[in-house]
């Protein structure tokens, strides 16, 4: 709702970013500000006229002050921390709190009337979600939240939400298909993490992205938000695995990241590695793997087929298996489907 109101003030009434946020919040939350009071946000635009702190952020702080501050800020318990939390949430969602940096990231080309519309809409989304989450927080003497049932946790796991034990928060696995996402999808995931989670994202070994700390009651909103960019969450149980492109050496279901492997070798988390499969083959001459003293590299031929003894062995194996097949006998050297090789 706040996004749509801010959009109208920005696109149809030509207010700046700070004015839009304060006016939209005044309308949405019935703040009771008159036209004279609303002018207090005018100077926030364009990073206070000098490309510094984003005007949408500054105006949002005014909104939070009206909603959450008592008579005096320093005497209002938790208000300082709430303000700091909001700034962190804003930066996590938009990538910065600096006007010039946000312009470089989101502003439309010169001459486009939409100008900083993306920043205004994102700022409105962040503020609306932040207010909703803090207004719904129970008082300290209120009873604790009802735990999510075991059956519900199991159901959500199938949808890609893994419970943080002992809480009503979940880590949400966003399926990336083959590990590739668009810049719009990356921003969508980052925004969803800021709006509905803790603002943190991790990568799984199967090239999914995992948003940390999504509250149980926000899961439907989280799913709907991702769907705007064609994204979805997904389970990764024993029978369902995301299909991923192979990086580094292969394993049964996924991958080993070559860069992570190099880091582990450098910090001596592991003592050494024997490799024969890589993202790019042949392995480029400038790859740091060639120079790492704890790495042994072999050609991707698993046993040296260029040796005559090996060629003779496999030639005879093929001949024997052809005879087995002809005579309807068990074949030798069968693939173990359970193991995957």
Answer with the residue of higher pLDDT: 70 or 280.
Answer: 70
What is the pLDDT averaged over residues 293-304? 70
pLDDT in tens, 2-13: 888 998 899 999
| Local structure of 210: helix, strand or coil | strand
* pLDDT at res. 303: 52
Q: What pLDDT score does 239 carry?
A: 44
Please give the torsion angle defined by the CA atoms of residues 92, 94, 100 and 106, in that order, rounded to the nearest 10 degrees. Answer: 160
Structure tokens at 278: 């890589």
Chain mean pLDDT for the chain: 82
Q: Which pLDDT band, with edges at 50, 70 and 90, does 273 fall under?
A: confident
Tell which wins on pLDDT, 165 or 305.
165
Tokens of 242: 């995301």
Give dist(CA 36, CA 22) in Å, integer: 12
User: Distance (Å, rounded) from C-alpha 112 to C-alpha 181?
Assistant: 27
Pairing relation of β-strands 273-275 and 295-297? parallel
Q: Is residue 144 pLDDT above 80, yes or no?
A: no
Cβ neighbors of 301 (< 8 A, separation 6 or more) are 276
Q: What is the DSSP string of 269-315?
A: SSS-EEE---SSSSPPTT-TTTT-TTEEE--TTSS-TTSHHHHHHHH
Q: pLDDT class for 220, splitting at 50, 70, 90? A: very high
Is pLDDT at 270 greater than 50 in this prediction?
yes
Cα–Cα distance measured from residue 68 to residue 80, given in angstroms and rounded to the nearest whole number:
10
Instruction: Quickly state the pLDDT bin for 194 (edges 50, 70, 90).
Output: confident
Which is more confident, 300 or 270?
A: 270
Burial class of 138 by CB neighbour count within 10 A (0 to 12, 13 to 18, 19+): exposed
pLDDT tens-place string over residues 69-97: 988 988 898 899 999 999 999 998 888 99
**Per-residue pLDDT for 109 more than 70?**
yes
Average pLDDT of the segment spanning 226-243: 69
């Amino acid at each position: 709702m706040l996004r749509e109101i801010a959009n109208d003030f920005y696109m149809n009434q030509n207010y700046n970013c700070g004015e839009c946020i304060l006016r939209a919040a005044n309308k949405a939350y019935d703040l009771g500000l008159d036209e004279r009071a609303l002018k207090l946000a005018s100077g926030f635009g364009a990073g206070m006229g000098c490309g510094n702190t984003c005007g949408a952020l500054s105006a949002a702080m005014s909104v939070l002050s009206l909603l959450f501050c008592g008579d005096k800020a320093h005497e209002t318990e938790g208000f300082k921390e709430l303000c700091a939390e909001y700034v962190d949430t804003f930066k996590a969602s938009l990538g910065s709190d600096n006007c010039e940096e946000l312009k470089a990231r989101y502003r439309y080309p010169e001459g486009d009337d939409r100008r900083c519309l993306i920043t205004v809409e994102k700022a409105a989304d962040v503020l609306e979600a932040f207010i909703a989450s803090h207004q719904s927080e129970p008082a300290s003497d209120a009873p604790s939240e009802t735990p999510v049932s075991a059956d519900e946790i199991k159901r959500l796991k199938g949808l890609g939400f893994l419970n943080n034990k002992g809480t009503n928060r979940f880590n949400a696995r966003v399926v990336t298909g083959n590990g590739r996402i668009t810049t719009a999808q990356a921003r969508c995931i980052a925004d969803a993490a800021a709006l509905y989670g803790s603002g943190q994202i991790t990568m799984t070994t199967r090239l999914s992205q995992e948003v940390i700390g999504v509250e149980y009651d926000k899961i439907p909103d989280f799913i709907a938000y991702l769907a705007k960019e064609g994204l979805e969450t997904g389970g990764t149980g024993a029978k369902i695995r995301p299909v991923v492109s192979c990086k580094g050496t292969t394993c049964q279901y996924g991958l080993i990241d070559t860069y992570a492997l190099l880091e582990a070798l450098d910090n001596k988390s592991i003592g050494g590695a024997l490799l024969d499969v890589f993202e790019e083959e042949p392995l480029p001459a400038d790859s740091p793997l060639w120079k790492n003293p704890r790495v042994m590299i072999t050609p991707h031929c698993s046993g040296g087929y260029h040796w005559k003894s090996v060629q003779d062995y496999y030639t005879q194996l093929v001949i024997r298996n052809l005879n087995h097949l002809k005579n309807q006998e068990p074949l030798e050297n069968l693939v173990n489907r359970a193991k995957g090789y």
